[in-house]
Chain A
C-alpha cells in the first residue's frame, strides 16, 4: 500500500494545475476575503482569524473533492480491475484513496494558516496553531470520503462537475464564504446539518475556548460513516459487475 500511496502522490504532484488550483487557491481566497470583510468581528474572533479558519476548511474540502472523483478515471481505465488481480484487498484500495487525499489536504490547510501567520500577522500560541491544524485536518475526513463516493458513483465525465455542484453550495451554505450569522435564519439552521459548517465551527472553537461540540462531532461522524458505507457498497457492486 505504501508504494501505491507514494506513486499516486508523485503522479499528482507532477500536475501543476492540481497543485496551483487545488492547494494554493484557498490561500489566495483567504488573502482576498480577509480584505473584503475588513476589521469586523464574527463568532468571538477577529475577521482575519475567522476567515483564515473558513478558508483552511475550504482548502481541505477543495482537495477532497479534487482527489476523490479521480477514482472515476481509474475505473474507466481499468486500473482498479488490474489491482483486483493482486493481493491488495478491496478495503486496502479504499484506504489508499483516503490516505492520499488526507495527505494532500494537509498542505492546503497549512498554506492558509502560514499566510495567516506570516502575511496577516495573526498571533496564536503554538498550542492553538497545532489545535486548529489538527482539528481542521481530521475533520476533513468526511469530505475525502464524499469525494471518493462521487468518483465511485458516476461516470468520470460527470465526476468533476458533480463534485463542484456538491462542494460549492456546501461551502457556501456551511458558512465558509460568509459567517452563518449574517445568513437568513432558515439557512443558519440548514448549516447545522452540513459537515462544512462543523468543520470550521469545531476548529474555531479551539480558539474561543468552547468545549468540543458533540453535535458537531456527531454530524461529521454521520456524514463520514454514511459516505463510507456507500463507497464500500459501490466498490462491491463494481467488483461483482458482469
Chain B
C-alpha cells in the first residue's frame, strides 16, 4: 500500500520523554526517519529502545513530545494498516497454530497479503499447522514476523527480532527482510547484535540512558570510534586529563584501570608514557566493533570526542 502514503517523513519523534518512577527511560528524544530507510536502534539494556518503539507504536503514552507516522497519529497509522510490528511484549496464544495467528492478523486489515504468502516469506510454511506453544524460540519469532508482515506495512517495527534464533535462522531471517525492504519499505529495528546493524541497516542510532549518543551511517559510526584500545594501570590521573591526550577518542577510568579508545594509538601511547612514566601493564589492541559499541554507550565516566 506504499502508493497511498505521500508524506516525506515516515517517522517523526519530537521531544519525546517518558519517565518510569525515578528512571528517565526516554529523555528528550528527537528522531526523524525518511521513507525507505532501514534504521537500527542500538544500545545496551535499559537504553530506552523498547520504550521508544512502544511509544512510536502508540502502545505507551509519552509524558511529553509528539509522534507522527506518515503524518498521522500512531493509532491512525495502525488503523490505516501502515504499520507492522514484532514486539517483545506482544504475544500470541499458545493454543493457536502459526497459520491461525497469521490468518487472524490478516483478517483485521482491509488489504492484507495472502496468508500463505506471508507465511512463505517468513519461512514458517513447514510448521504453520503446529501450535504456537510447541514451537522453538526461533520458530516463534518467525511466526511473529509473518504476523507483522501480513498487513503489507509501509513501516515495520521490530524489537530484537532475532533474539531467540540460532545463526542459520538469523541469516534466513535477514535474507527474508532484505527481500522485503527492496520494495522501499521503512524498517526500524532494535538489536543487541552489532553485526546485524552493520550488515542490514542504512543508518544506526545509538542510544544510552534514553538519549541518542550517535546517529549516522554504519560507516560513519564505525569511523567515529575506529582505532585501537590502550589499556594500562595509571596512578593519579583523571578522565579529563586522559581524554585530553593526543590521539585519544574516549577515555574510561575505573580505579587505576585506564582504557583509552584511540584514533592514533601511537601518539596517545607516547603522550601517556611522557605524562605518566610509571604507567604499567600496558596493552594495545585493535578495536573491535564491540569495543566501539562499548565506547559509545558505556556508563560514566566517558569523555566524548568533539
Contact = CB atoms under 8 A, between A and B. Distances in A.
B103 A87 contact: no
Interface string A65-105: 00000000110011101111111110000000000000000
Contacts of A87: 78-81, 108-110
Most A CB contacts (10 A, CB to CB) among B87, B104, B106 go to: B104
Given A77-B92, A85-B59, A85-B85, A10 B105 contact: no
A193 B61 CA distance: 41
B20 A242 contact: yes
Nearest to B55: A242
B103 A3 contact: yes
A81 B92 CA distance: 10
B78 A15 contact: no
B96 interface: yes
Contact of B109 (A10, A14, A15, A86): A86
A4 interface: yes
A165 interface: no
B183 to A, nearest CB: 21
Given A10-B100, A79-B92, A82-B92, A4 B107 contact: yes
A240 B108 contact: no
Given A81-B90, A85-B57, A86-B108, A14 B95 contact: yes
A85 B103 contact: no
A38 interface: no
Interface residues of B, number: 34
Nearest to A3: B107
B245 to A, nearest CB: 44
Contacts of B107: 1-4
A185 to B, nearest CB: 47
B60 interface: yes
Given A14-B95, A73-B93, A82 B103 contact: no
Interface in B108-153: 108-110, 147, 151
Contact of B96 (A2, A11, A241): A11
Interface in B61-83: 61, 78-81, 83
Nearest to B147: A82
A82 B95 contact: no
A242 B93 contact: no
A158 interface: no
A81 B109 CA distance: 16
A128 interface: no
Given A2-B107, A81-B59, 7 more contacts: A3-B104, A7-B96, A84-B59, A85-B78, A85-B84, A89-B79, A242-B60
